[in-house]
Chain A
Amino acid sequence: MFILSKDIEKGKASEPDDDFETIRRVLAGDVEAFSVLVRKYQKKMLNTAYRMTGDYEDACDIVQDSFIAAFKALRDFRGDAVFSTWLTGIVMNRARNVLKQRKSARGSLVAIGVKGEDGPGLDIASGGESAFERLSAREVQAGVQECIGTLDEEFREVLVLRDIQEYSYSEISSMLKLAEGTVKSRLFRAREALRDCLRKKLGGL
């Protein structure tokens, strides 16, 4: 048992250690070593960004920019957090900026009378409870993503980080620079809001 827990600790600790070694190499001038970090974290970062924005291309742009920003600021990375946490914080910041831009763009669209929401959601929900049964997994996923998109950013991000990316509360609080209690309360409210949305969108759960 003792040995096992030690091994687990070791295994857990080895990942950041590897990242630190890679970062040390990059800082020493080995730019190509940064590709190790890109390869390692690109998928997780892309999924985080994708769930935040609901747009694959936006997510790709966000993650690419975040990696470059991280590279530029690598000297400022003190190592008081693990690299993935630091990088996720950068991704979340960029995602937030994209959402803000989108919101202001949509605001102007609403102002000229274009309504962008609810369209497909109503179609899916039109069939009632039995309709949900007929929904394919893909459609359910699309509905979930749509509902995530309806949440306010502050709820969305805790939901994505906790229920999709499965980060710990302490990691999330570090990424978002929030108290753990705030993270939790936001998370619970986010889940409820999402449940309500999904009921509405999918015609029941």
Chain B
Amino acid sequence: MDCRFFKDKMGPYLEGELPAGDLSAFKRHLETCAQCRKELEDLEKTRSYLGALEEVEPPAWFEQKVMAGVREAHEKKSVWRRLFYPLHVKVPAQALATIIVVVFAVHVFKDMEPQMKSVQAPPAPAGEPAQKRDAAPPPVSPEKKPAAPAVKAPAVPAKEPAIVADAPRQAVQAQKDAVSQSVSREYKAAARPDLPAVLPPLAPAEDSLRSEAAAPPPAVASSPATPPAKLKERSMAVGKRLEKKESEAPASLDYAPAAAKGKSSVAEYARRPASQVSLKIRPRDPGTAPEKIRLLLGEFGAVDISVSDGKISAELPADRWSGFATGLTQIGEIKGSPSLPPAAGSVRIAISIETDPGPSGAP
């Protein structure tokens, strides 16, 4: 038999995997073939050398080194997890928070817009009255009778009564001086304390005016510390007195005994405040003005409020008039000189809203 044939049987033979038929033939060949015996012998030796190879020992630090690497890998994994796992939770949370803030900011901004407009608006109306005061002569001057010199100065603030509060300080000072002068002059000329009679029943105003009435004129003139609010009331009163014709005398004016006698037209105004007050307003924001006025009326206890086509009418408690008038000036510029309501009872108010921004100063 060919040695080459048996050469291929050596491996399975050594593994004990040679089929029985091949095994006997292989064994018989080995008995006769020294070369094949040597081959098999060397093959067995080779395997025994391999099996006899000494094992190498791992270095002493090996386990620690491996574990250090393992821990490092674990930490890296943790870092990755820390970096990315929270993203799944936090990113939507942060995005949500951002969206909420943005939505809130937009909402607030939109809410504020009309308010901001009205806040920005004042400069124009504030400038206008001052111009008007210089430009437009008081339309009521012909009606001035005994108090002509006294009325001249107060007539100026009378045009824009409540605006005094918003007017520049110099204007306030000028008005203050003018009023106190006029008051003292009025006292001198007419010797009637009819001025207090037309004042709205505000306690501080009454007190100061009462003291003014009692005090000698120089004392009045030398009290420049009159607060603007009081001035406003007073100038309003003076202005109204000039326009009023249909007014009735209020019963509650205990400090106006002389006025009750009613000898002059001034006294007439004082005695007979209007039961109906008509006024024109040029609102800063015509769009919202009717609603604002309606709300203001409601706020001051007005009833029977009707709003139609730029005209608003309502029944307002007379003692709330001054507050309402002040509030009205926040909405717009009051045109002309509104007549004076009665100090008690209720007053019918008719407000017409001017929508066209006509040339300033035009009556």
Contact = CB atoms under 8 A, between A and B. Distances in A.
A101 B7 CA distance: 35
B57 A67 contact: no
A195 interface: yes
**Size class of B's contact patch?**
35 or more
A46 B63 CA distance: 12
A91 interface: no
A149 B99 CA distance: 67
A160 to B, nearest CB: 8
Given A38-B67, A56-B56, A60-B58, A194 B50 contact: yes
A194 B62 contact: no
A57 to B, nearest CB: 9
Interface string A154-194: 00000100011010000000000000000011011101101
Contacts of A187: 11
A71 B47 CA distance: 34
Nearest to B72: A68
Nearest to A140: B49
Interface in B66-84: 66-67, 69-71, 73-74, 77
Majority secondary structure, B binding face: helix
A184 B16 CA distance: 12
A161 to B, nearest CB: 11
Contacts of A72: 73, 77
A187 B12 CA distance: 10
B73 A188 contact: no
Majority secondary structure, A binding face: helix
Interface residues of A, number: 43
Nearest to B7: A192
A195 B63 CA distance: 36
Interface string B44-59: 0111011111111111
A31 B63 contact: no
Which of A34, A64, A188, A199 has the most CB atoms of chain B within a 10 A radius of its CB? A188
20 contacts: A35-B66, A35-B67, A35-B70, A38-B63, A43-B57, A46-B57, A50-B56, A60-B58, A141-B49, A159-B50, A166-B51, A184-B15, A188-B10, A191-B11, A191-B47, A192-B11, A192-B43, A195-B39, A195-B43, A199-B42
Given A32-B67, A71-B70, A192-B7, 17 more contacts: A31-B71, A46-B58, A46-B62, A56-B56, A65-B69, A68-B69, A145-B53, A164-B53, A184-B11, A188-B8, A191-B11, A191-B46, A192-B43, A194-B50, A198-B46, A199-B42, A205-B46
